[in-house]
Structure 1
Amino acid sequence: MQHFEDSIYNLIVETSTNLPGDVRRAVAKGRALEDIATRSGLALTTIAQNIGMAELQVSPICQDTGMLTFIIHTPVGVNQIEMKKDIYNAITRATKDGKLRPNSVDSLTGENSGNNLGEGTPVIHFEQWEEQGIDVRLILKGGGCENKNIQYSLPAELEGLGKAGRDLDGIRKCILHSVYQAQGQGCSAGFIGVGIGGDRTTGYELAKKQLFRKVDDVNPIEDLNKLEDYVMENANKLGIGTMGFGGEVTLLGCKVGVMNRLPASFFVSVAYNCWAFRRQGVLIDPSTGTIQDWLYESGTGISVEGSKVPEVGDSPESKSESREVRLTTPISEEDIRSLRVGDVVILSGEMHTGRDALHKYLMDHDSPVDLNGAVIYHCGPVMLKDEEGWHVKAAGPTTSIREEPYQGDILKKFGIRAVIGKGGMGPKTLQALQEHGGVYLNAIGGAAQYYAECIKKVNAVDFMEFGIPEAMWHLEVDGFAAIVTMDAHGNSLHADVEKDSAAKLTQFKEPVFK
């Protein structure tokens, strides 16, 4: 199969850069349900623009290109050892070309392999079948949504929902709770795959396999079809909204599968996927390795953009409370304390990326640059280097809650005035923002091309030994927009939405399926 490596490379590029047609239609349907002039409406419009930009530029839709997971069906006799070698070569090429971010990290040393290869990465599931062709399916599921996966062991007592028993109604409660607990941290509006039964391992595998189903398919099991319809009708009533900003659209798809279990165990496993639902598949000729057919409809020609991103003044939320504020780094405490939740901040000047490795380092060491009045961006960009230097290929925000143990201390230690990320942070950070004079700015998760366009220059980089995603990149930006969701006055939009959605969750306590 002399062309197999090229076919896998093309599959990786298409999956990373071009959202499939069924997913685009789901996003477009969600946009139609949301008021375009709200924070969630603005976020969905930005998402739609980002989808088009990624396709046009053949660049990653989201900077977190996730854990590559392949499910491959082969005829008897096909050499799977040689196929693996070609897959590894294709992944190395795609990483070098900036279609994938180097995401494979040694769990003990923290060292990044640099090419997305390592023990356990990528994930490849081979299965034989009696068909003649080779069926290769790939999903790129980022860490932010992977961290919101959840598994329930029934019976269980669930917050707001009471007892969930070992029956269809207990499963219903688990699914609704899984959407609630994700809030905006998994880059809602999202998709979920649900696995009923199995053991702890196979339950999660079944849940992730549901994400390979097409968004508009119909479950052949009547009870599960009813359950999927129920979840899609009611999960959006929680009011979590896109990015957790509050709103009408929290879930874009729900697929449920079932398998047998042990008498003593009853697991409900949920695989949460962000709006950047990147999965694709190909049918490959086993004699040549060439692609015979694509298994999911291409997104090319299916626009989800609609109207342009609305001006802040167009929003009913903004007319009473919010405004657009332009700031240039370094930022003063006075400017920061003038901001309120809901304000849209347009940043220019230098900002600095910082993720897990940097935050841990800064707790006990000095910063290589002056951070007084600075902005820290929770981001692990996709970067390429040529003779002119480093270039940003994708640069959306990462989930911020991971930095909660460090963020408040680092803010005060270095005089940082603003933190940019997604999904919000907790009470320790909120208290530090209030005491020190800082704000948390929520960027649109997954909008990696939208934000990369705002980055005009890479000024420098420190800590390359941490790997590209974890390094401290010093970036010159212009027109970088994000929403204040935690301010210096003790207000948190994230806490408000979570409290409101918790109250709404209780309406689903009574049995539905008997």
Structure 2
Amino acid sequence: MQHFEESVYKLIVETSTNLPGDVREVIQAAQEVEDSATRAGLSLSTIATNIEMAENNVSPICQDTGMPTFVVHTPVGANQMIMKSQIRSAIARATKDGKLRTNSVDSLTGANTGDNLGPGTPVIHFEQWEKDDIDVRLILKGGGCENKNIQYSLPTELEGLGKAGRDLDGIRKCIMHAVYQAQGQGCSAGFIGVGIGGDRTTGYELAKQQLFRHTQDTNPNNELRQLEEYVMENANKLGIGTMGFGGEVSLLGCKVGVMNRLPASFFVSVAYNCWAYRRQGVLLNSASGEIKEWIYPSGTGTPMKLKSAEAAVEAVAEHQEESREIVLQTPITEEQVRSLKVGDIVTINGEMHTGRDALHKHLMDHDAPIDLNGAVIYHCGPVMMKDQAGEWHVKAAGPTTSSREEPYQGTIIKKFGIRAVIGKGGMGAKTLAALQEHGAVYLNAIGGAAQYYARCIKKVNGVDFMEFGIPEAMWHLQTKGFTAIVTMDAHGNSLHANVEQDSFAKLSQFKDPVFS
């Protein structure tokens, strides 16, 4: 087993940096359905550009490399303690090499371990089987989509759908509601794994196990096959679209599994995964630990034949009446912001500052380390690497889910004179009111496009609050050509609220029974 650790390291790197071929094919099909001259079409073109950049740069597709979760099948007699130790070593090495973001934090203190190791991280599930080889599978599921996981206890009442009973039709309603409630916050269009039955814990485990299935497989259970086909046919009628911008494609895959349950409990658990569907596996020789084959089709040599993001920006601006292309240099004035409206495509040049949960909480009661009047705050936890000269470089820098900052954002905008906030998934009524009152704007970047946005960052000007850990620190970044879409403006308009309202109205068409 002298090659086991190296094989696991290769698995981690491949999973983080290169989407499998079956996932690429699904995204390609989505692009063919979506009108390229729409915000959703622009999003898919940016996603395609990002996928190729990540492969070419051997860098993370998305900066949020999530909670590494391994499922390992071993022959009888294999030493699982040694395997666990070597998996942990491979995780630490991949983190040091910038293939994983430092994501493991103490739940009580918030302190970042810096190596992705700690109690419960990474997650490793061992199972014995009768085969001679070792099967190691890994999924990297980011926090944004993990937060959109949902579990239902049947019977229940679902908004827009009515009563969901303890039957196949009740399960159907739960799945449709799960897609609706995710909106764009889980980096749609996404994939879902569904677990029927079990208890609260095993139901979620079963749901996540479904995400290891091939995108084009067929469920051997006829009822579940029909359910999967129904969801794929109808979930896209909700009109949520890529990034929640509205559009034809809201869901890219649905896989359902079932297990027995207690008579008193009936759980339907849904694991939502973003478009950056990072899962891969290897079959290893049990004697040497060398890789015999890759479980999922390799994405290498499978180019995304999609329109470039730059061409897509031009197409949207040309064909969408509500869209304009606008270039802004930081610091931004109130007059510039109030001239913007929902649908405008904005390109930012100049310095912007990252800020996530720890920074927003801190700024509520403290001064900022720099002048933020007219500034841009980017909801981002980048992957950073320091070179031999001690200079920091951005390896991946896509947006994080903005809704977590809703309790703070409005106050901070007004307190410090911030004129623009960049993130993904939109924000709520309190932030929208602050944008209107103060004269600020929310810009939606494309979730998961960590390589696409990293190339827009030309220099790291400095950093504050490193004690919060690299993802939560306040990085001061010099940018050029950073493009995002106005989805909440200073006039009280919110694209996110409009899409959610529209999709809720469409949800009611699925209220009537389908499966008897």
Deviation at 1:475, TM superposition (A): 0.1
Structure 2 contact 13–94 (Cα < 8 Å) conserved? yes
Residue 334 of structure 2 aligns with which residue? 333
Question: What does residue range 6-17 of structure 1 map to in structure 2 within 5 Å?
Answer: 6-17=6-17
Residue identity opposite 1:348 in structure 2: N
- In 1, the alpha carbon distance for the partners of 2:507 and 2:304 equals 30
Q: Secondary structure, in 3 states, of the residue corresponding to 1:111?
A: coil
Structure 2 Cα separation of the partners of residues 315 and 413 of structure 1: 35
**Offset of 1:281 from its aligned partner?**
0.3
2:328 is aligned with what amino acid? L
Match in the other structure for 2:222: 222
Output aligned runs, 1:140-219, within 5 Å: 140-219=140-219
Query: Contact between 1:318 and 1:342, CA under 8 Å: does it hold in 2?
Result: no
Q: Report the 3-state secondary structure (helix = DSSP H, G, I; strand = E; otherwise coil) of the residue aligned with 1:42.
A: helix
Q: SS state of the match for residue 69, structure 2?
A: strand
**For the Cα contact (< 8 Å) 2:446–2:484, is it kept in 1?**
yes
1:458 maps to a residue whose letter is V
Per-residue Cα deviation, 1:29-58 (whole angstroms, up to 9, x for no partner): 111100001000000000011000000010
**Equivalent in the alignment of 2:466:** 464
Q: In structure 1, what is the equivalent of residue 322 of structure 2?
A: 321
Superposition deviation, residue 315 in structure 1: 2.6
1:350 is aligned to: 351
Q: Kindly provide the CA deviation profile for residues 398-432 of structure 1, in whole angstroms up to 9, marking residues without a partner as x.
A: 00000000000000000000000000000000000
Distance apart, 1:317 and its partner CA = 8.0
Instruction: State which drifts further: 296-305 or 115-124.
Output: 296-305
**Residues 344-363 of structure 1: CA deviation (Å, up to 9, x unaligned):** 00000000000000000000
Q: CA deviation at 1:387?
A: 2.5
Aligned partners of 2:188, 2:226: CA distance in 1, in Å?
Answer: 23
C-alpha displacement of 1:386:
1.1
Q: Does 1:63 align with 2:63?
A: yes
Corresponding letter in the other structure for 2:178 = S
Compare 489-498 and 305-314 and name the one that shifted more: 305-314
Question: What are the superposed Cα offsets for residues 116-149 of structure 1, whole Å, 9 maximum, x if unpaired?
Answer: 0000000000001110000000000000000000
Q: Is the 8 A contact 2:317 2:323 kept in 1?
A: no
Matches within 5 A, 1:439-450: 439-450=441-452
Partner of 1:101: 101
Partner residue, 2:134:
134
1:242 corresponding residue in structure 2: 242
Whole-Å Cα distance in 2 between the matches of residues 114 and 195 of structure 1?
33
SS for the counterpart of 1:376 is: strand
Equivalent residue number for residue 282 of structure 1:
282
Equivalent-residue separation in structure 2 for 1:76 and 1:261 (angstroms): 29
Q: Do the aligned partners of 2:53 and 2:451 also contact (CA within 8 Å) in 1?
A: yes
Q: AA paired with 1:216?
A: Q
Q: Which runs of 4+ in 1 moved over 3 A?
A: 316-319
Q: Is the contact made by 2:239 and 2:250 (CA closer than 8 Å) also made in structure 1?
A: yes
CA contact (8 A) 1:38 1:317 kept: no
Relative to 1, partners in 2 of residues 1:60 and 1:66: Cα closer, same or farther, differing over 3 Å? same
| Equivalent position to 2:423, from 414, 421, 425 | 421
Question: Partner of 2:82 in structure 1?
Answer: 82
State how far apart, in whole Å, the 1-side matches of 2:476 and 2:293 are: 43
Quick one: structure 1 residues 237 and 223, their matched pair in 2 at CA, closer, same or farther if it must change by over 3 Å? same
C-alpha distance in structure 2 between counterparts of 1:451 and 1:404, whole Å: 23
State the Cα distance separating 1:319 from its structure 2 match. Answer: 4.0
- Would you say 1:302 and 2:302 are equivalent positions? yes
Which residue in the other structure is 2:383 paired with?
382
Q: Structure 1 369/52 Cα, relative in aligned 2: closer, same or farther at 3 Å?
A: same
- Distance in 2, Cα, partners of 1:100 & 1:144: 16
Q: Which residue identity does 1:371 align to in structure 2?
A: L
By how many angstroms is 1:307 displaced? 2.0
Q: Secondary structure at the match of 1:320?
A: coil
User: Which whole-Å deviations, capped at 9, do the CAs of 1:68-95 have from their partners, x for residues lacking one?
Assistant: 0000000011111111111111011100
Number of residue pairs the alignment of both structures matches? 514
Query: What TM-score do the two structures reach when normalised by structure 1?
Result: 0.99
Q: Structure 2: where are the runs of 5+ without partners?
A: none
Q: Secondary structure at the match of 1:315?
A: helix
Letter in 2 for 1:322: S
CA contact (8 A) 2:331 2:375 kept: yes
| 1:311, distance to aligned residue in structure 2 (A) | 4.8
- Residues 74, 126 of structure 1: 8 Å contact kept: yes
TM-score by length of 2: 0.99
The share of aligned pairs that are identical, in percent, is 77
How far apart in 1 are the matches of 2:345 and 2:57? Answer: 27
Whole-angstrom distance in 1 between the partners of 2:502 and 2:301:
39
How far residue 314 of structure 1 moved from its aligned partner, in angstroms, is 2.5
Is there any run of 5+ residues in structure 1 with no aligned partner, and where? none
Q: Distance in 2 between matches of 1:429 and 1:306?
A: 35
1:44 aligns with 2:44: yes
1:316–1:453 CA distance, 2 compared to 1 (3 A): closer
Q: Is the 8 A contact 2:317 2:345 kept in 1?
A: no
Shift of 1:301: 1.5
Query: Is the 8 Å Cα contact of residues 317 and 324 (structure 2) preserved in structure 1?
Result: no
> What is the alpha-carbon distance in structure 1 between the residues aligned to residue 10 and residue 312 of structure 2?
38
Cα displacement (A) at 1:266: 0.3
Matches within 5 A, 1:16-31: 16-31=16-31
Specify the SS of the correspondent of 1:219: coil
CA distance in structure 2 between the partners assigned to 1:94 and 1:314 by the alignment: 39
Q: Give the structure 1 partner of residue 293 of structure 2.
A: 293
Give the Cα separation in 1 of the matches to 2:196 and 2:57: 40
Residues 313, 319 of structure 1: 8 Å contact kept: no
Matched, 1:405 2:407: yes
CA contact (8 A) 2:36 2:312 kept: no
Question: In the alignment, is the contact (CA less than 8 A) between 2:37 and 2:320 conserved in 1?
Answer: no
The offset of 1:303, in angstroms, is 1.9
Aligned partner of 1:326: which letter?
V
Give me the whole-angstrom Cα distance separating, in 2, the residues matched to 1:333 and 1:387. Answer: 41
Letter of the aligned partner of 2:438 in structure 1?
H
RMSD over aligned Cα atoms: 0.8
- d(CA) in 2 for partners of 1:38, 1:91: 39
Letter in 1 for 2:413: L
Q: What does the per-residue CA deviation read over 1:197-239, in whole Å, with 9 as the maximum and x for residues that have no partner?
A: 0000000000000000000000000000000000000000000
Distance 1:91 1:64 in 2: 15
Give 2:506's match in structure 1, choosing from 504, 507, 511.
504
